[in-house]
Chains A and B, each alone.
Chain A
């Protein structure tokens, strides 16, 4: 069932074109290790991506364009329950689309007809609610159209991709906060009719995990694993255009933010315009907000990026770009 998605995940590996894929399995650190300076920031140990079945290093540049059949772009999404490691040693009973958190980054072009077959293989009712313009019946909320999809059942969502920009999809079953917090969300990219300039593109879904069920998050990150890009920096080329699709899926906190060190980016809120609104190094997003960031790194070196909500940064939402 997951083979096609896995195949897409590993494409960069096969192609060898994308440098991030090279650093997948670093040697795990020892949990009992005492070393390092007193002010060491971060978790102790390493998460095993193989056991999780997904790797933030690969999710970063993994865009799922589905399959076009008879002029319709099709995907299959399956909701499941799966225990994932969100920080070294910390297991979380997640709800996932296609075995990963965030779910696959769906990508289409504006105006295309889209068909998403949704299978609920979990033990609770779920839906997929897409952000975009579509009919009420295709909105994926309980009580309207297909409504809640009961365990073992399936449905098909069909609509036209519009407007172009960066959107998201998530489960809309009740209790909503739980269904989102447990991992049922993903990015949804609709390209403009004419392609954006070529770039090294990546997806960052900002999220968090309430591991002790006190309605606040213990762990924060982008693409799930705490400090994933701190321990293995994202490699980019100096001078090359980098495009980041940034989505805030964080539950329980009012806002999230993205800040990059020593560089500035053009910001396109929701990606619905081809003209940036701001040149900045920090952007704030409420839950469900998203936007596209474009920048070129003028200098080589390691540049930190993190939530400028310092608490989130120290609880996992921090990483590095390594410019070569």
Chain B
């Protein structure tokens, strides 16, 4: 009887009822201009400077209103002097983004303090540590970023994968050691990316989530990879499946690395020296090892291995492009989170293969491999500082 009554009214209608009620109440509340709630105190002005670009005779800032109230930028001060400027929009509403272009004869290599005065006399402060022209996003620039991505992403990973023939002839116990080493490498990358993401998130607009964006990205990537893994599981492929997931995890991580390199280059704070490229090459070569370790006892086809290498290395190029042309701290935090989640998923995936015959996870060889992986990443990481 009851079931029959319910069937007459579609179930989705009852799901909509609370939503409709909420919508109606919000409309009423707004229409009555928030009855009972009075503004206490002065407007809160919070502006995040999301991007700084330097062009000849011009400093361009991308601002986002990070606070609850509208903000009006009315004057610009550069190094204790008023400067002429223009802007897209005088009034910045909540979460609005706008560009401010300050006409200023800046000098290459010098530092600048910028204060944007708001209509209430408050200041939005930002600084340029070392002034350098922001590169134009032309073909040559994208070519250069591609080259950097190639150097720090694809080539080292491919070289690292050349350890495969050597690994094939190793005793199973030493393969386990290398898998544990891989876990160590990944754990280091994961921690590194998580810290970087949290820092980036904190420097972006707080209202967009701040550091939480990193965790959000991590959870999302973990879930997506878990789903993909479930799909692949049906098609079998053991070691290759794991290798693919490792490649995806490392690829997402390298995209974050490329992002940082690209943005650092764009704001001129990157010394594109040989030392940096060499450092990344050594650091990332170990990533190649991590990809081939799961397939050491199988016979993967060369084409497939090349594909894994590309998946792991190529995102560095994409990251460099994005970082250099449209860097946004909040977006970067999210992307770093993706890398963290992917790595976490891969670690969970590899860990069972490290178990010895007695089923122990942290047997001496595994613990040694793990520690060696962490140490290797730390030491090679010293060669890099963006």
Residues in chain B near residue A38, CB distance under 8 A: 57-58, 103-105
Residues in chain B near residue A39, CB distance under 8 A: 103, 105
CA separation between A38 and B121, bound complex, in Å?
25
| Interface hit among B25-33, B77-85, B143-151, B317-325 | B77-85
Question: Are A89 and B80 interface neighbours, CB within 8 A?
Answer: no
Residues in chain A near residue B241, CB distance under 8 A: none
Q: Which residue of B lies closest to A311 (CB)?
A: B80
Q: A224 → chain B, closest Cβ, in Å?
A: 13
> Is B75 an interface residue, CB under 8 A from the partner?
yes
Question: Which residues 75-98 in B have Cβ within 8 Å of A in the complex?
Answer: 75-77, 80-87, 90
Question: Are B84 and A315 interface neighbours, CB within 8 A?
Answer: no
Question: Which residues 208-226 in A have Cβ within 8 Å of B in the complex?
Answer: 209, 211-212, 214, 218, 226
Q: A87 → chain B, closest Cβ, in Å?
A: 6
Question: Are B123 and A212 interface neighbours, CB within 8 A?
Answer: yes
Question: Are B117 and A218 interface neighbours, CB within 8 A?
Answer: yes
Question: Which residues 35-54 in A have Cβ within 8 Å of B in the complex?
Answer: 36-45
Contact A211:B121 (CB < 8 A) given known A36-B103, A88-B75: yes
Q: A92 → chain B, closest Cβ, in Å?
A: 5
Residues in chain B near residue A33, CB distance under 8 A: 86
Question: Which residues 86-136 in B have Cβ within 8 Å of A in the complex?
Answer: 86-87, 90, 101, 103-105, 115, 117-123
B58, B87, B103, B123 — most chain A CB neighbours (10 Å): B103
Question: Which residues 7-53 in A have Cβ within 8 Å of B in the complex?
Answer: 31-34, 36-45
Question: Which residues 50-108 in A have Cβ within 8 Å of B in the complex?
Answer: 86-92
Question: Are A31 and B117 interface neighbours, CB within 8 A?
Answer: no
Q: A318 → chain B, closest Cβ, in Å?
A: 10
Question: Are B121 and A209 interface neighbours, CB within 8 A?
Answer: yes
Question: Are A316 and B57 interface neighbours, CB within 8 A?
Answer: no
Q: Which residue of A lies closest to B81 (CB)?
A: A314
Contact A44:B121 (CB < 8 A) given known A36-B103, A38-B57, A218-B115: no
Q: A58 → chain B, closest Cβ, in Å?
A: 24
> Is B74 an interface residue, CB under 8 A from the partner?
yes
Contact A45:B81 (CB < 8 A) given known A34-B86, A91-B121, A209-B121: no
Residues in chain B near residue A42, CB distance under 8 A: 82, 84
| Residue from A31, A212, A311 within 8 A of B74 (CB atoms) | A31
> Is B72 an interface residue, CB under 8 A from the partner?
yes
Residues in chain B near residue A36, CB distance under 8 A: 84, 103
Residues in chain A near residue B81, CB distance under 8 A: 41, 311, 314-315
CA separation between A298 and B50, bound complex, in Å?
53
CA separation between A30 and B302, bound complex, in Å?
65
Residues in chain B near residue A45, CB distance under 8 A: 74
Query: Majority SS of interface residues in chain A?
Result: loop
CA separation between A31 and B100, bound complex, in Å?
12
CA separation between A89 and B122, bound complex, in Å?
12
Contact A315:B86 (CB < 8 A) given known A38-B105, A40-B103, A218-B121: no
Q: Which residue of B lies closest to A32 (CB)?
A: B86
Q: A95 → chain B, closest Cβ, in Å?
A: 14
Question: Are B83 and A89 interface neighbours, CB within 8 A?
Answer: no
Residues in chain B near residue A316, CB distance under 8 A: 82
Question: Are A32 and B90 interface neighbours, CB within 8 A?
Answer: yes
Residues in chain A near residue B72, CB distance under 8 A: 89
Q: B104 → chain A, closest Cβ, in Å?
A: 7
Question: Are B103 and A218 interface neighbours, CB within 8 A?
Answer: no
Question: Are A92 and B75 interface neighbours, CB within 8 A?
Answer: no
Question: Are A90 and B74 interface neighbours, CB within 8 A?
Answer: yes
Question: Are B82 and A90 interface neighbours, CB within 8 A?
Answer: no
Q: Which residue of B lies closest to A34 (CB)?
A: B86
Residues in chain A near residue B117, CB distance under 8 A: 87, 89-90, 211, 218
Contact A88:B74 (CB < 8 A) given known A31-B90, A32-B90: yes
Question: Are A43 and B87 interface neighbours, CB within 8 A?
Answer: no
Q: B59 → chain A, closest Cβ, in Å?
A: 11
Q: A197 → chain B, closest Cβ, in Å?
A: 38
Q: B90 → chain A, closest Cβ, in Å?
A: 6
Residues in chain A near residue B87, CB distance under 8 A: 31-32
CA separation between A276 and B58, bound complex, in Å?
47
Residues in chain A near residue B123, CB distance under 8 A: 211-212, 214, 218
Q: A209 → chain B, closest Cβ, in Å?
A: 7
Q: B45 → chain A, closest Cβ, in Å?
A: 10
CA separation between A44 and B123, bound complex, in Å?
16
Question: Are B83 and A40 interface neighbours, CB within 8 A?
Answer: yes
Residues in chain A near residue B121, CB distance under 8 A: 86, 90-92, 209, 211-212, 218
B84, B118, B119, B120 — most chain A CB neighbours (10 Å): B84
Question: Are A41 and B90 interface neighbours, CB within 8 A?
Answer: no
What are 6 A-to-B residue pairs whose CB atoms are below 8 Å? A39-B105, A42-B82, A45-B74, A90-B74, A218-B121, A315-B77
**Chain B residues within 8 Å of A, Cβ to Cβ:** 57-58, 72, 74-77, 80-87, 90, 101, 103-105, 115, 117-123
Given contacts A40-B84, A43-B82, A218-B117, 5 further A-B contacts (CB under 8 A): A32-B86, A37-B103, A40-B83, A90-B74, A315-B77
Q: Which 5 A-B pairs have the closest CB atoms?
A: A211-B121, A89-B74, A314-B81, A38-B57, A40-B84
